[in-house]
Structure 1
Amino acid sequence: MARFEPNHSSLDYNTLKDAVVVLSGGASGIGAAIVRLLHGHGAKIVFGDLDTAKAEAVVASTSPSSVHFVMTDVTSYTDIVDLFRFALSKYGRVDHAIANAGLIEQPGWFDPRLGIEGVAHKPTTKTSEVNFNGVLYFANIACTYLAHKNQAAEKNSKSLTLLSSVAGFKETPGLFVYQGSKHAVMGLLRALRLYVPEAYPGIRINAVLPSMTLTGMVEGIKDGWMSADLPVNKPEDVATALVGLCVAGPGTDPIWYDEEEAEGVKKMSSAGGMDWDHPLETGVNGRGIFIMGGNCYDIEEGLDRTEELWLGKKVSGWLQKGQQNLGNGTHWLKEK
């Protein structure tokens, strides 16, 4: 299996000094850990959140001269534009963007107690609005701002990173809307990872999928999980992976292969359009980094390379030809 090592010697964190990073959801949990880690590397950070008190505490604990809070509702497209606009007006560029804001499941969906009368009332869609619409808005805006006056297009030095979840690939009973939204983030990654490098040269895109992480979201399951002696992430573990992806551009080699756990996967051919074999040339792009117990595992390369095993050679071959026919996806929408 492919692994990502955020502490690999080839990653130069000095490149984050004075880099401009825009982040959604930086007031608490994983987001606050990202802000503090980036600040420690000398980055300029502009983050959006709704929790003013916690956000201002993060700014006060770092540096008001290089860490900036902008009140942002990620379900508002205009708010996210304003977030990026602030960064551009303040620093003249955006180097990295991290879509981190998220919301846990809200009650009201698939409740057998509702009955005929109760189910007539639409439940809240806030979770999907934050977890997918917010990420979709953020990614769309980020690509344009990252590409704006990009003098390093050939270096693939800029990055966009999306926060998904273990629920983005593993069934999670009870998290109906949350799981659907986190799967949608992975769908967005797959739709963008071939498209973005061509449409917006110089930008890499990846996603991070944390397992159980000690934040306010997991209070209801934390005790049972820990009593089962299962691996747990600290917010700093996830932040380390997210920040590591920012600096994992061409010339770096943080991907390694655990042959003991999954022998021979790297020898299988890619069934899709991704080039997993030349990371030194492309940098880390198109990967979904699952994090458990602070360890980072890429789920995308193994899923791609083993497609013939779980789908069958014939059907996988048809799919591969179909994907080649589709190209990078620039021809879906016809110009009027």
Structure 2
Amino acid sequence: MEIKDSAKPARRKLSTYFKRSDRPDRSEAWLAAVFLIPNIILLIVFTYRPLIDNLRLSFTDWNISATSYTWVGLKNYAEWFTSPGTATVVMNTLIFTVATVVGSLLLGLGLALVLDRRLHGRSFVRAVVFMPYVISGAAIGVAFQFVFDPSFGLISDLMARIGKVAPDFYQVPEWALFMVTVTYIWKNLGYTFVIYLAALQGRRTDLDEAAEIDGASRWRHLTRVLLPQLRPTTFFLSITVLLNSMQVFDIINVMTKGGPEGNGTSTMVYQVYQETFMNQRAGYGAAVATIMFIILLIITLVQVRYMQKGEQK
């Protein structure tokens, strides 16, 4: 009986201790509020409010320099979906986005695998690969004009040395789209390379040793050991590169200005700029921006859902 009586107060004290420890500390709550509230205010002012204003303007016929606008309802959306040039713009956006995402991921992973070794001068090579990512897209566009120029460009000179004629990248829409796509992949390669390299350096080396002991081939080691560990990194890069690719403006504006032949390299984000600032149709441009936002939102939700299913397996 004495043992039971002495145990009761101990249990009460222990339960009281855990109840008190579960209570949130007011000082921590205030500290969290101090850090969160300014960020929430910035998001509301610079992200959510412009998004709502853009949605409102998409239902209007507004010249960006005018002080008033006319409410037109769904007219801008109907015009975009029925316009003959919309199919070209959407196809350009799709080709450019898919090519840049796939190209950046594959080349970035390949370079990361090559440079994740003890090589002489690897730090210098890593810096060289990453450098284009921090350079302005407009500057890179100007530089690559000297590479693709049909008269005195680098490609033209190399083709002439083997007796071939370089394609006219500025007059043929297909080659123009190829030109801006290659340019952006080259600029964005350093980003995917650095992220993949960090993921490779943080992987589990014991799995590599186990695969080596089992005598796994390089391809089997890549597909069964490395790539499964890089799945979260690949998911993260696929979303960020996709979002960035669909918003590329500077390279297209500098190199082709959306041409040739009108919409030869025009993407949805470039169409927003062209309609809003060049054609003075801000309402129509807002409608295109809203459609692009909905497409990006749907793609992101699908990717997140797919990733969650992959983690549950």
Higher-Rg member (1/2): 2
TM-score, scaled to structure 1:
0.23
TM-score, scaled to structure 2:
0.24
More strand by share: 1
More helix by share: 2
Between 1 and 2, higher relative CO (CA 8 Å, sep ≥ 6) is seen in 2
